[in-house]
Chains A and B, each alone.
Chain A
Amino acid sequence: MNSDTKKKKKRADTLFAYLWSAPSLLLIFLIVIFPILYTGYISVTNMNVYHWNNYEFIGLQNYKDALLVFDNGFLSALFRTILWTAVNMVLQLILAYVLASLLNIKGLRLRNVYRTLLIFPWAMPGYVSILLWKTGMFNSQFGLLNQWLTKAGLEPVKWLGSNFMAFFSCTVVNLWLALPFMITIIDGALQSIDRSFYESAVLEGATWFERTRYITLPMIRPIIAPSVIITVFTTFKQFDVIYLLTQQVGSKTGADIHTILTYAYEKAFITNNYGYSSAISMMIFAMLIVFSWLSKANTKEASI
C-alpha cells in the first residue's frame, strides 16, 4: 500500500467517524449548543413583556445593564457560593469516603441492603426531598428536630431563621441529596483496587493510615476526579436547595444566604425581561467556563 492510498483511507475513516457520530452530534447540537446560542442571541435583543413579538437588536445594552447586578450583594453572594461549594465538597468527600470504606469492610452482612438504602435519596425527586426536609424536619412547629428538642426539655430552634443555621441546614440537605452519587463512585473505585497491594503492604507492616495514604487515595484519585469536578459544578450552581428552603416567595425564612443563582433570580429573572436575563445567564455561563478551565489546569497539575 503506498502512502497516497493510506492517506485516502485515513480520510475516509475520519469521514465515516464523523458520519457515525453525526446523530449524537446533532442531538448535542440541538439540546446543548443551540439553547446556548439562542440565549446569546436573545441577550442582544430587547425581548421583554413590552416587546414580545416586536423585539429588536439592541447590541450590548443588556450586558451594560447586567453589570449593575454585579454589585455588593452579588459579590457577597459569590463569596458565599464559593464557601458553600468548598464546605460541601470537603464534607461530601470525607463522608462518602468513610461510608464507602465501611461498605467495603470484609464480611459485612447485608451489604446490598445498605447500598440500596444509601442510594435511596438519589432515586427521589430533589424537589420532594427538599420540601420533606423543610416541613418534616426543620419546621419550627411540627418538625421532627424541634419535637425531639422539646421532648428533651430544650428550647425549639429556628433551623432556617438565621444565616448560620440556614447555611448549616441547607448543607445537611445538600449532603443528603449528593452523597449517594459520591458513595457509589468511591465504592466502585475502592473495589477496583487490587487486593494484593494491601496484602503486601500488611506483610511490610504498613498501618491502616499508611495504607490509606499511600495505596487507597492515590489509586482512587484518577477514578473519582471527573465526578468530583462534575459535583463541584452542580454544587456551585445549586439553586433548589437554597431557594426552596429559604427564599421561596410566600415562605421566606428571614435568612439571607443567597448564592449567585438565587441572587440573579431575584434581580433579573422575575422581571420577565428575557433579553436582560439572558445576558446575566451568559455572564454566569462565562464564569463557569473560567472556573472549569481553572479546575482543569489544577487537576492536570495534580496528576503529574
Chain B
Amino acid sequence: MRRTGFLSLTVAAAVMLMCGCGAANSKLSEEEAHRIVIWHDKEDAVTGVLEEKLKELEPEVTIVLEKKSDLTESLKMVGNNPSAAPDMYFFAHDKIGVYAEMGILSPITDIIPAEELSGYMQNTLEAATYKGEIYQLPIYYETLLFLYNRRYMSDDAVPETTEELYDYMQEKTGGGHYGFVEQHSTPYYAAGWINGFGGRILNDDGTPGLNSDAVIAALAYHKKFADLMPGETEYATVNTLFNEGMAHATIGGPWLIPTVRESGIDVGAAPMPVIDETGTPIAPYMGVQGIQVLQYAASNKTESVEKVLRALMDPEVQISLAQASGCAPASEECYTMPEIADDEIVMTMKETAEHAVPMPNLPEMDVMWTVVGNLLTDVNMSDEDVAESAEKAQEEALSLIKTMQ
C-alpha cells in the first residue's frame, strides 16, 4: 500500500514537472498585474533605500525584492519563462547585451520617453545602450578609485603621475610592506591601464583589440609595477594587505571603503595618477547599476512597471543611496546638491568617471574576461613575451567569439 502510494506520488510529480513549464496563463489576474518582482544582488544598505522608496507605491503596486546570488545564470535559465522569471532586475549594465540578444529584455524607452532621460550623465546612458536601444534605467555607477592610507601617505604626497607612483613603490616596498598593490592580473583592474594607453580590450564593434600597439605598450609598461607587488593577485590578498596597513595605497572599488574604515584606517581617495607616456590618467571601467525590465512584464504589466521606473527616477533615491553606501548618482543634477558635493569619495568617483570607460556591454565580453585574465597572467606572472602573448590571446579571443555563434 505504501509503495503504490509512493508510486503514484512519483508519477504525479513527474507529470507535474513535465507540464509545469507549458502552463503559463495568458490573462493575468488583477493581483498579479500589480505585483512586481525585482531580482537583485545588492547589500542591505542599498536594498533598504529602494524598499523604502518603493513602499510608497503601495497599495497600487506591491514590490517584492528578491536577492539572487547567482542572478546572471538564473536569468539565462528562466528569462523567457514568465512564471519563473522576475519582472525587473537590478544589476550592472554589462550583461544587457547578452539578455537583449536572448530576447528577454525590453528597451526602457518603450515605457519612459527618451527625452525624459536627458538628466542622466552621458556616459551612464552610453553604458545602458546596446545596438541603439537603451535597456537600463541608470541609478548609480561605480569606478575604481585610487585609495591611500593617510598614515603612510599624506594628502600632498599622493603621486600625481605613474612614474611618481613607481618611485614611491621602489622606495617603500620591502620587509612585508608594499608601496602600492592592486589586482594586477585581473582584467577589471588592468583595464584601467590599458584604457589609459588608448587601448581597448573589446572594440565597440565586438572585435577584440588585444594585439594593438596600445594594449601591448600598456602591458609592457604595467609589468614593472606588477613586479613590485605580491605574486597573488586575487581580491582577498590585495585587500587584506591594504586593510591591515601593509600596503600604503591601492586601486579598489568604493565597496572597500566601509571595511577599511572599520579596521581603523584613515583612508583617502584621490584621482587616478596620470600615465606619463600618454598624458591621460589611468582610466578604469565604469559599471552602471540600474534597473532592467523583462519583455513579458513590459507588455503585460506596463502600468505597474512605469510606476516603479518613475519612482526610481527620483534623484532623492540616488542621494539616499549615496549616503547609505557611498555610490555615485547617475543623475547630473545630484552633484549640485550639498549632500553630494560635500562627499569626498563620491566627488572623487565623479572625477574618475570623466575619464572612465563604460564596461563593454556586448555579449562578446563574456569570453574576454577569461582570455585577458590568461594574457595578464602570462605577462605578469609567467614572464612571457608581451607581444607574443598578446597575439596568442587575440587569436584565442577571435576563435572563442566565433564559437559563440
Contacts and interface: CB of A to CB of B under 8 A. Distances in A.
Interface of A: 19-20, 22-23, 26-27, 30, 48-50, 52-53, 65, 135, 139-142, 158, 161, 248-254, 266-268, 270-273, 276
Contact of A48 (B7, B14, B367, B405): B405
A252 B374 contact: yes
Interface stretch (B59-67, B133-141, B236-244): B236-244
Given A53-B103, A272-B366, A26 B403 contact: no
Given A26-B11, A249-B369, A251-B234, 15 more contacts: A49-B101, A49-B404, A50-B101, A50-B404, A52-B103, A53-B102, A135-B237, A251-B186, A253-B231, A253-B377, A254-B231, A267-B400, A270-B400, A272-B98, A272-B363
Interface string B91-124: 0000000100111100000000000000000000
Contacts of A135: 236-237
Interface of B: 3, 6-7, 10-11, 14, 17, 76, 80, 98, 101-104, 183, 185-186, 188, 230-237, 240-241, 246, 363, 366-367, 369-370, 373-374, 376-377, 381-382, 400, 403-405
Nearest to B233: A251
Contacts of A141: 230, 232, 237, 240-241, 246
Contacts of A22: 7
Contacts of A276: 403
Nearest to B6: A23
Nearest to A161: B231
A273 B405 CA distance: 7
A270 B367 contact: yes
Nearest to A248: B234
B381 A253 contact: yes
6 contacts: A26-B14, A135-B236, A142-B237, A250-B183, A250-B186, A254-B377
Nearest to B17: A30
Nearest to A69: B403
B380 to A, nearest CB: 8
B98 to A, nearest CB: 6
A63 B17 CA distance: 30
Given A141-B232, A142-B237, A272-B363, A23 B101 contact: no
Given A268-B403, A270-B400, A273-B404, A250 B14 contact: no
B10 A23 contact: yes
B403 A254 contact: no
Contacts of B102: 49, 52-53
Contacts of B237: 135, 139-142
B359 to A, nearest CB: 15
B236 A30 contact: no
Contacts of A23: 3, 6-7, 10
A140 B231 contact: yes
A48 B404 contact: yes
B101 A271 contact: no
B403 A49 contact: no
A49 B102 CA distance: 5
Contacts of A19: 7
Contact of B403 (A20, A27, A271): A271
B101 A30 contact: no
B232 A52 contact: no
Nearest to A158: B231
Given A49-B101, A52-B103, A140 B232 contact: yes
A65 B236 CA distance: 38
Contacts of A27: 10
A250 B374 CA distance: 10
A251 B235 contact: yes
B373 A250 contact: yes
Nearest to B18: A30
Contacts of A140: 230-232, 237
A252 B185 contact: yes
B367 A52 contact: no
Contact of B367 (A161, A248, A271): A271
